Amino acid sequence: MVPEGTVVVERFESEVLRGNPLGDPYVREIPVYLPADYEADPSRRYPVIYWLHGFTGIGLSSIAKSLWTPSLPELMDRVITAGAPPAILVMPDGSTRYGGSQYINSPATGRYEDYIVQELVPYIDRRYRTQPGPDYRGVVGKSSGGYGALVLAMRNPEVFRGVASHSGDMYFEAGYKPFFWKALNVINRYHSVAGFLRAFDAMPKKARDAADALTILVAMGQAYSGNPDGSFDLPVDVVTGEIRDAVWARWLEWDPVVMAARYAGALRQMRLIYIECGTRDEWNLHFGARILHGRLQALGIAHEHAEFDDDHGNIQYRYVESLRRLAEALR
Amino acid sequence: MVPEGTVVVERFESEVLRGNPLGDPYVREIPVYLPADYEADPSRRYPVIYWLHGFTGIGLSSIAKSLWTPSLPELMDRVITAGAPPAILVMPDGSTRYGGSQYINSPATGRYEDYIVQELVPYIDRRYRTQPGPDYRGVVGKSSGGYGALVLAMRNPEVFRGVASHSGDMYFEAGYKPFFWKALNVINRYHSVAGFLRAFDAMPKKARDAADALTILVAMGQAYSGNPDGSFDLPVDVVTGEIRDAVWARWLEWDPVVMAARYAGALRQMRLIYIECGTRDEWNLHFGARILHGRLQALGIAHEHAEFDDDHGNIQYRYVESLRRLAEALR
Amino acid sequence: MVPEGTVVVERFESEVLRGNPLGDPYVREIPVYLPADYEADPSRRYPVIYWLHGFTGIGLSSIAKSLWTPSLPELMDRVITAGAPPAILVMPDGSTRYGGSQYINSPATGRYEDYIVQELVPYIDRRYRTQPGPDYRGVVGKSSGGYGALVLAMRNPEVFRGVASHSGDMYFEAGYKPFFWKALNVINRYHSVAGFLRAFDAMPKKARDAADALTILVAMGQAYSGNPDGSFDLPVDVVTGEIRDAVWARWLEWDPVVMAARYAGALRQMRLIYIECGTRDEWNLHFGARILHGRLQALGIAHEHAEFDDDHGNIQYRYVESLRRLAEALR
Amino acid sequence: MVPEGTVVVERFESEVLRGNPLGDPYVREIPVYLPADYEADPSRRYPVIYWLHGFTGIGLSSIAKSLWTPSLPELMDRVITAGAPPAILVMPDGSTRYGGSQYINSPATGRYEDYIVQELVPYIDRRYRTQPGPDYRGVVGKSSGGYGALVLAMRNPEVFRGVASHSGDMYFEAGYKPFFWKALNVINRYHSVAGFLRAFDAMPKKARDAADALTILVAMGQAYSGNPDGSFDLPVDVVTGEIRDAVWARWLEWDPVVMAARYAGALRQMRLIYIECGTRDEWNLHFGARILHGRLQALGIAHEHAEFDDDHGNIQYRYVESLRRLAEALR
């Protein structure tokens, strides 16, 4: 019998997200997992792991129960039961109406990095019996969440000292660019990006190819090449599909494999860097993970890189790998 | 602004399911939706709609929030806001470890019909301010849940007087049989059904083709051709793929298009029969719906049959069609 | 260096096919392969193997060269070079405008069995130095051609005494029926079979799903349930998808697994019966082959049954299995 | 009734290809189509159109008959019957054991450009009653053949003065690069390119994903980044999937959208430039065609650009567009 932690769903009012350019809610539902012994020992303080959901997810997605796939709290229960030190788990909501924010600040979506780092982390530290200080704080996620974890850790070593990525976005050359042209085929059905967005908003059921097109060009464009006026630039010409080098260069500034050298100092402060990806990832992210692994090695930055024989989807069973490592590293 | 109803999650202890042959839990989490005005008017009583989830779902699946797909409570809020009479919504859990029970009694899975009809309905009537009597009680669902709704209504007109099916299983000849042989290909990788079940249980991530094989042969076999000793018969020879006519005949006894004539008396008592299916249903269920439509017509049973241009997946946006009709018919 | 046989393409005028109901050509291009030593030894006579192409093929398809896939003459060269007795190979054309005739007589397509058995075989015996008599004559093919081979041999033991089937159509319950409903989805786009056929005729490029629909319902309907007036019946209701039992029963009369008992006497006269199928056949034909294998065993009819790990497409490399066996059995 | 031209298959011995590095045959079967009136009017001379087959094709592929797809001679018959001036059609073989040569000279495959331009063209002019001079000579093809046509025309305006491309390879950024990583997944199963090639050679049936991997990395690498010693470089690191910029730059030298400016002088001499592509091309080649269109416009080079609603496969019905235009332009 696995002792079960408790889940509290916080309705978190973000000042930072208020009035965001996409009109997304500034109140977010954020589940917080408290280990099974949290109530029993009121003097104990716990490390905190921030779990970042993937694209099209929301904060609540990570706690949804289902028949054959464990939820994040169930996984954390297992990890603790198996002997790892207990930790608090916070599951922020980084969604936008077009799929997700990549957990970074952008004039086209909102200040999602600030919302987590400047607002949510202090709030959690006030509300719960956390162990204070970055040494006891980690960040991890899957897919866009794995990306967000790496970027938040690189940019905020004074906040996070443990980071893990499951199949995170990286090496955009292989992870994003190959999918641009299929996305353009979809967008061009509607004659313009604006037309496409109107059509997307109106779909009672979001078509798969439309959601993919939205992800790869609109949401990523909003995240990586947003403009001060709230608009965003595409890294390809919509009609001819020709790469716009200047915009693409802006995207690459946000590519973890490019950022690694720039943020080497921060990465060296981490108590844990764990990167894994399945060897059949449909978005080619295992190649990105290998490249990041090589660059970290070249920079002499301690880290762990793992692969497993699977694709990008439904890899919840892998999450114990990071949860256990983080719980142990941040104790 | 849509007024939001409240959701209570009942932990329902079923005596009927205790000791069920698959060792599935007898305590089930069952969400209950109470309309926005439930608290405001403590003298008001409400009709009750039972919503049956589809295969591989659980009771909680229907209340899970997500970015682009409305949950059942959100849909019910919309329906009421648009003018339909308020109703209570109960979302029973009909899952088994192998995917689902089809909401019927079987010696191989448990007495799921009894659990709902004999246990849960009275319990809900005791716990909530329901309008008593079958005239104010409906049942509806999607896919296996649509199937379950039809079968429960046919067999229990003293309990339910409104029924709706979204893309429900029917005309097994087209809805199940075509998929037997692909399922056998999967099962035969493991040399026997027992070997397959062991492998399936051990998969940390359930492979899609394995889950499909499980659905179409194992779970349906357990539902429709279970034996008194808890075993079940397959309607095909595992190795040669030859149809076993005697077992197949047992399945057909549970096919709504076959049952319709047998239960015509019950169906005539319904205040609403609503059947719909998408015209591109991957499981060919639109053909089944047309056949049932024809048979109900031939029997002179009032009903409504609708089609829409979509497939079997993510059709939550269609659920307002049945919720509205049921709320109006059962007022 | 493999000695190469010669290929002659006969322009064969068929009296039997003249005026056929579909208006297909009565002159057919029929390649004839003569072994490498045919000219060198003008006194030698050779057994004859009739090779029947698959659906949507034509007689010439079997001799088309390509980069990575050997043609039938190339395969026969290899077989002979490897030590098998030389044989003449005749590649009749059994095509119709809607894909193929299944090599049987039907009032809806023409007398394709008679064309081969009554016209072509005697013609070949007159034109080439064949060994006379059924003992030296075999028939083999792939897919619809494997079907045709079995049916022609069963019905004409006075003509053929060796038969082989590569992934031939059999056990229609699994090989045809599962695909009816997808076909109806396509046909219903055009509101009727006649409308569908007009649309198909007009397509400059035949869409894959349309060609599949044509195969499974139109061409097979024309072959198995053609009517004296040249029309044909479908085994399903076009709109409801309900199986029409009487028509389906007519199809089953032509199912090799059903025919086996009826033609057991003929099958017992064969000098070779060879049946093989890939274990991942998309049309489920490996199940049919296993069933036929079991029925032949039960009837005490000598035969060989083989399986291989592949699907239905591009299995030319398997043809040496039958060509070698036939060449040896019919020597 | 369409008058039918005659097809002669030349067995052409190429001195240029003798001893090529891949050990491919130096004798090639090259079909030559002579218009229906060729024999009737022995004094008439004809323009010549060179048709270049696509990847994995051979010279003979273009004359293969089939049930629903017209061969190139049949299409040319139609074009002439509809009023276009008659022309001779030559169908060179540009295949290599790994799929194709792209019709260019490479130390890793052989001098395929020279073989066509220096050897085959003079040979055809000697053997047939051609109209002498580049003004009466055109080159066209599909996919890799469309690519080859453009490159041969750009580089040899003294030989060809008409060029057309059906869905030709161009803008390698979208047409090749997106497919590198899936190809690496396949190659990495065999641990090295050499291991992959050994496995590929040994496959009795070439797996689709293996053939795709071969095309996109091996064959294109041999064509665009071959080395003097017969080896070739890949534009990506096999293990990490990182783009090798220096090798990729060599590829781009061969990209028609890059070459256009360099060969503007040659292109200006063309009597016809016709470029078309389907708007759903799986290899994204419609984007390349739009980019080339834009660059030709910017250079003030007369040309015609067309699109049609289809994908990359089985677009034979489109070939009449180029055959008619070339026959008229080169008269």
Question: Minimal Cα–Cα distance from D26 to chain A, Å?
Answer: 38
Q: What is the distance between the alpha carbons of residues B241 and B250, in angstroms, rounded to a whole number?
A: 18
pLDDT tier, A3 (very low <50, low <70, confident <90, very high otherwise): confident
Burial of B307 (0-12, 13-18, 19+ CB in 10 A): middle
Instruction: Judge whether residue A1 has pLDDT over 70.
Output: no
Q: Which positions ≥6 away from A266 have C-beta within 8 Å? A: A153, A154, A155, A156, A157
Bridging pattern class, strands B272-278 and B304-308:
parallel
Q: What is the pLDDT of residue B94?
A: 98
> Per the CB < 8 Å rule, is A181 touching D240?
no
> Per the CB < 8 Å rule, is A60 touching B56?
no
Q: What is the distance between the alpha carbons of residues D293 and A241, in angstroms, rounded to a whole number?
A: 13
B46, B84 contact by CB (below 8 A): no
What is the mean predicted confidence (pLDDT) over C8-26?
Answer: 98
Question: Minimal Cα–Cα distance from B78 to chain A, Å?
Answer: 14
A92, A134 contact by CB (below 8 A): no
The chains found to touch D (3+ Cβ pairs under 8 angstroms) are A, C
> Per the CB < 8 Å rule, is B241 touching C185?
no
What is the mean predicted confidence (pLDDT) over C225-248?
Answer: 98
- DSSP three-state, residue B84: coil
Among A170, A172, A181, which would you mutate to test the D interface (most chain D Cβ atoms within 10 Å of its Cβ)?
Answer: A181
Q: Is B290 on the interface with C (CB under 8 A)?
A: yes
Q: What is the pLDDT of residue B1?
A: 62
Q: What is the pLDDT of residue B28?
A: 98
Considering only the beta carbons, identify the residue of C57, C60, C66 that sits closest to D61: C66
D109, D223 contact by CB (below 8 A): yes
pLDDT digits (tens, 9 = 90+) for B86-120: 999 999 999 999 999 999 999 999 999 999 999 99
Q: What is the distance between the alpha carbons of residues C91 and C103, in angstroms, rounded to a whole number?
A: 12
Q: What is the pLDDT of residue D226?
A: 98
Residues on chain C touching B285 (C-beta within 8 angstroms): none
Residues paired with A9 in a beta bridge: A31
Q: Is B207 on the interface with A (CB under 8 A)?
A: no
Q: Which residues, given as ranges, of chain B have pLDDT below 50?
A: none
Q: What is the distance between the alpha carbons of residues B312 and B302, in angstroms, rounded to a whole number?
A: 25
Q: Determine the residue type at D175.
A: G
Interface C–D counts its CB contacts (< 8 A) at: 48
> Per the CB < 8 Å rule, is D99 touching C67?
yes
What is the mean predicted confidence (pLDDT) over C99-126?
Answer: 98
What is the mean predicted confidence (pLDDT) over C258-284?
Answer: 98
> Per the CB < 8 Å rule, is B240 touching C180?
no
Q: What is the pLDDT of residue D2?
A: 74
Residues on chain B touching C173 (C-beta within 8 angstroms): 243
Q: What is the distance between the alpha carbons of residues D164 and A3, in angstroms, rounded to a whole number?
A: 71
Residues on chain B touching C294 (C-beta within 8 angstroms): 240
Residues on chain B touching A11 (C-beta within 8 angstroms): none
Question: Burial letters for D196-222: b for 16+ Cβ neighbours within 10 Å, e otherwise?
Answer: bbebbeeeebbeeebbbbbbbbbbbbb
Residues on chain A touching D285 (C-beta within 8 angstroms): none
What is the mean predicted confidence (pLDDT) over C3-7?
Answer: 93
Question: Minimal Cα–Cα distance from D212 to chain C, Å?
Answer: 14
What is the mean predicted confidence (pLDDT) over C14-28?
Answer: 98
Q: Is A184 on the interface with D (CB under 8 A)?
A: yes
Nearest-CA residue of chain A relative to D295? A240
The sign of the dihedral angle between the CA atoms of A214, A216, A218, A219 is: positive
Question: Minimal Cα–Cα distance from A173 to chain D, Å?
Answer: 8
Instruction: Judge whether residue D1 has pLDDT over 70.
Output: no
Percent of chain A that is helix, strand, coil (3-state, to 5): 40, 15, 40
Q: Taking the CA of residue D224 as centre, how many other CA atoms within 13 Å lie in the half-sphere pointing to its CB?
A: 27
What is the mean predicted confidence (pLDDT) over A145-158?
Answer: 98
| Alpha-carbon dihedral angle through residues B294, B297, B299, B303, given to the nearest 10 degrees | 110
Instruction: Judge whether residue D17 has pLDDT over 70.
Output: yes
Q: Is A212 on the interface with B (CB under 8 A)?
A: no
Instruction: Judge whether residue A2 has pLDDT over 90.
Output: no
Considering only the beta carbons, identify the residue of A66, A99, A204 that sits closest to B61: A66
The sign of the dihedral angle between the CA atoms of B170, B174, B179, B184 is: positive
Question: Minimal Cα–Cα distance from C41 to chain D, Å?
Answer: 27
SS (H, E, C) C212-223: HHHHHHHHHHHH
Q: What is the pLDDT of residue D132?
A: 86
What is the mean predicted confidence (pLDDT) over A77-97?
Answer: 98
> Per the CB < 8 Å rule, is B61 touching A58?
no
Residues paired with C12 in a beta bridge: C28
> Per the CB < 8 Å rule, is C205 touching D60?
no
Nearest-CA residue of chain B relative to C183? B284
Q: Is D228 on the interface with C (CB under 8 A)?
A: no
CA distances to A98, A149, A287, A294 from A167, in Å:
21, 11, 10, 16
Nearest-CA residue of chain D relative to A179? D178
DSSP for C261-303 reads HHTHHHHHT-SEEEEEEETT-TT-HHHHHHHHHHHHHHHT---
Q: What is the pLDDT of residue B3?
A: 83
The kind and range of the H/E element at A103 are none
The kind and range of the H/E element at A273 are strand A272-278
Considering only the beta carbons, identify the residue of D68, D206, D315 that sits closest to C206: D68
> Per the CB < 8 Å rule, is B67 touching A60?
no
Q: What is the distance between the alpha carbons of residues C241 and C235, in angstroms, rounded to a whole number?
A: 9
Considering only the beta carbons, identify the residue of B60, B204, B317 that sits closest to A204: B317
Question: Minimal Cα–Cα distance from D149 to chain A, Å?
Answer: 22
For C286, other C-beta atoms within 10 Å of its C-beta total 28
Residues on chain C touching B174 (C-beta within 8 angstroms): 180-181, 241
Question: Minimal Cα–Cα distance from D255 to chain C, Å?
Answer: 26
> In Å, how far from its chain's centre is CA A292?
17
Question: Minimal Cα–Cα distance from B112 to chain A, Å?
Answer: 17
Considering only the beta carbons, identify the residue of C56, C65, C204 that sits closest to D58: C65
Distance in angstroms between the alpha carbons of the first and the last residue of chain C: 24
> Per the CB < 8 Å rule, is C65 touching D66?
no
Q: Which positions ≥6 away from A158 have C-beta within 8 Å? A: A134
What is the mean predicted confidence (pLDDT) over D87-93?
Answer: 98
Q: Which positions ≥6 away from C130 have C-beta within 8 Å? A: C45, C46, C47, C48, C88, C124, C136, C137
pLDDT digits (tens, 9 = 90+) for C171-203: 999 999 999 999 999 999 999 999 999 999 999
Nearest to A35 by CA among A4, A14, A59: A4
The kind and range of the H/E element at D106 are strand D105-106
Q: Is C260 on the interface with B (CB under 8 A)?
A: no
pLDDT digits (tens, 9 = 90+) for C135-170: 999 999 999 999 999 999 999 999 999 999 999 999
Q: Which positions ≥6 away from B172 have C-beta within 8 Å? A: B251, B252, B254, B255
What is the mean predicted confidence (pLDDT) over A216-228?
Answer: 98
Residues on chain C touching B182 (C-beta within 8 angstroms): 284
pLDDT tier, C132 (very low <50, low <70, confident <90, very high otherwise): confident
Q: What is the pLDDT of residue D83?
A: 97
Residues on chain D touching C205 (C-beta within 8 angstroms): 69, 310, 314-317
Q: What is the pLDDT of residue D243?
A: 98
Considering only the beta carbons, identify the residue of C29, C204, C317 that sits closest to D204: C317
Nearest-CA residue of chain A relative to D182? A284
Question: Minimal Cα–Cα distance from C131 to chain D, Å?
Answer: 31
Please provide the average confidence, as pLDDT, over all residues in chain D: 97
D19, D109 contact by CB (below 8 A): no
Q: What is the distance between the alpha carbons of residues C215 and C54, in angstroms, rounded to a whole number?
A: 11
